Each structure stands twice: as C-alpha cells, then as structure tokens.
Amino acid sequence: MSAEKILSSWKKKDFKPVYWLEGEEEYYIDMLMNYAEHQILPESEASFNLTVFYGRDADWAAVINACKRYPMFAERQVVLLKEAQHMKDIDKLESYVESPLSSTVFIVGYKAKSLDKRTRLYKLITKSAELFNSAKIKDEKVHEWIAEMVKSKGYTILPKAISLLEEHIGNDLSRIANEVDKLSVNLRDKKNIDEDDIEKFIGISKEYNVFELLAAISKKDLSKAIRILNYFESNPKAVPIQMALPALYSHFSKVYAVYGMNDKSDQALKPFFYFNANSLKQAKDMMANYGYPGMEKLILLLHQYNLKGVGVGDTGTSGASLMKEMVVKMMID
C-alpha cells in the first residue's frame, strides 16, 4: 500500500493494528508518523492514549506493554515507535506483531534501510501487519514530484523554478518540502512560484547556479561560465563541486545517449528530458556545439575532475578552481 493510500484510510478512520514503515526515503515515513502523532486522535484523547517511543532509548518490553494497554475513554490508542532502526532486540516485538490488540494502532518507523527479510519478524510483518517500503525516488521523477507536491499545496510553479530547486537540493524530498513550506509562508496571496521567489525566499541565485552554468557550457559561453564560477568561488557553500559535477554529469550523459537513438526529433526527445523545454534546448545546443567526440571529451573531463575533487591526483586546489580549469578545457579545443 502506498503512503497516500495509508493516509487516505486513516482519514476515513480505517486502521490496522500494526504498520511497519521502512525504507531509504524518509519523507514519506515522517509524513505518516507526523499525521499519526497529531491527527489520528483528537486532542482530548491524545493525552491519555498516545505513546511515543524512540528506538535508541526504547525497551522492547515497555513498547509491548504500552501496546497491550486498553484505551482510556476512547475507541483506540496510538503507539508510535520512531527511529526503530536503532532499537536493540527489535526482534522481541515478534510476539506482539503476531497477536496485536485490535484497539491499538501500533506504528513503527524504520528509517534508512529495510528489515532483514530472512528474519521471523519480517515474515510476521508481511503476514500480520501493513508493510510500507519507502523507496528513494528516482532522479528522473524529482521534477514531476516537485510540481505535484506544489500543486497539492494549492500553488503552481514554473519549470525553471523547479530546476533551481532540483539542482540545488537534489532528491532530498524532506528538504524540498520544507523549502516549499517556507515559500508558502512568504508568498501571501501569490499562487505561482517563479525563479524570483526561489532566489528571494530560499536564497538560490537565479543567475549563478548549476542550471545557468550548464546553459553557458551548452552554448560555449566561456565568459558567462567564468562569471558563474567566480560567484561559486566567492560563495563556497552555494554550489560545492560535489553538488555541481553530478548535476552536470546527469545532463551530459543524457545528451551522449541521444546519439544512440534512432529518432532524434523533439517529440522523441521530450520524454527523455522529462518534458522540460529548457533541458531539451540545452541538449540541442550542446549537440550542435560539441558533437559526439566533444561529448565524449566532456564526460571524460568530468570523471577526471571528480577524482581530483576527492583528492585523487590533486591536493589542496579549491573546488571552484578545479571547476574553472575543467570548464576551460571543455570549451577550448
């Protein structure tokens, strides 16, 4: 069952005795846990019937005893076990998972990984509980996810603004959601988010960012690229090399892959570039300005400078200086 379906069933007051929420993507686990803590029980019942444990400090016997209590002056009680991946003797929960109390809603958040499928506890969970695995979102889905998440909050967002968020934050959904919440507080009556809003309220420069650096490289505009890199050098936390190089590689590798496609029409390429008109234009500029041999050269240089960025073959050179050196080599034949 998806996070959305679990949330929908909770809103309808349809509960199962045990929920096991696990996986690498913490955003959905946090979302469900937050709803469970603050919304399942009315405030008048929560003081008596809500119990929250944290795995690092929780004792398995105390957790089971809490789950076996009957609710006070209410139909149900809620027991939350957060950060369960840190809990010692978590396998001791087997007895309760096998035979849970129907008046208790027991919800376990097991972050950053999944329970060993070979264990008896896991087999009991698949049989007797609602198991939700929160998989890390694929990079190609982040653009669409941002648009849908913003829409769910009652706003629209321009593609370039999405690109700024995506390239600056990556696929950290919790951080993206927090930044959008920050935006919503400041936008007041405005409903359409643009790059000016991203710059003003989140602090991501609309002029000096990876997206604009990529545009400059695509057009072989060395002077613009150097201006952007000078900004990175003056603001080392804005776009560190460890953030910039993967973003560049993601685009370069897609452009390189286009050469292996039989159909290179805009219609065929649009899905490949997530229906992002700016990304498609940059790809076509890059193909026109570099060609197939040039793309091979760009990807090789990225690999070389990625190694230098982690100290292989270079010691002491700043990330911004390495990026300047790399970009000059990219654009000058």
pLDDT in tens, 15-40: 999 999 999 999 999 999 999 999 99
Which two three-digit tokens encode residue 10? 């909770």
User: Quick check: 112 and 29 in contact, CB under 8 A?
Assistant: no
pTM, to two decimals: 0.73
Q: What's the CA gap between 21 and 18, in Å, rounded?
A: 10
Three-state secondary structure call for residue 275 = coil
pLDDT in tens, 176-186: 999 999 888 88
Q: What's the CA gap between 214 and 212, in Å, rounded?
A: 5
pLDDT in tens, 259-283: 999 999 988 888 887 777 788 888 9
**Looking at the chain, how many residues does it have?**
333
* Per-residue pLDDT, 87: 94
Q: What's the CA gap between 49 and 31, in Å, rounded?
A: 20
pLDDT average, residue stretch 228-243: 83
* Per-residue pLDDT, 35: 96
* Per-residue pLDDT, 210: 87
Q: What's the CA gap between 322 and 307, in Å, rounded?
A: 11
* Per-residue pLDDT, 170: 78
User: Quick check: 49 and 75 in contact, CB under 8 A?
Assistant: no
pLDDT higher than threshold 90 for residue 5: yes
Domains of the chain: 3-133 (3.40.50.300), 139-202 (1.10.8.60), 210-331 (1.20.272.10)
* Per-residue pLDDT, 81: 97
* Per-residue pLDDT, 22: 96
CB atoms within 10 A of CB 78: 22
* Residue at token pair 């613009």: 224
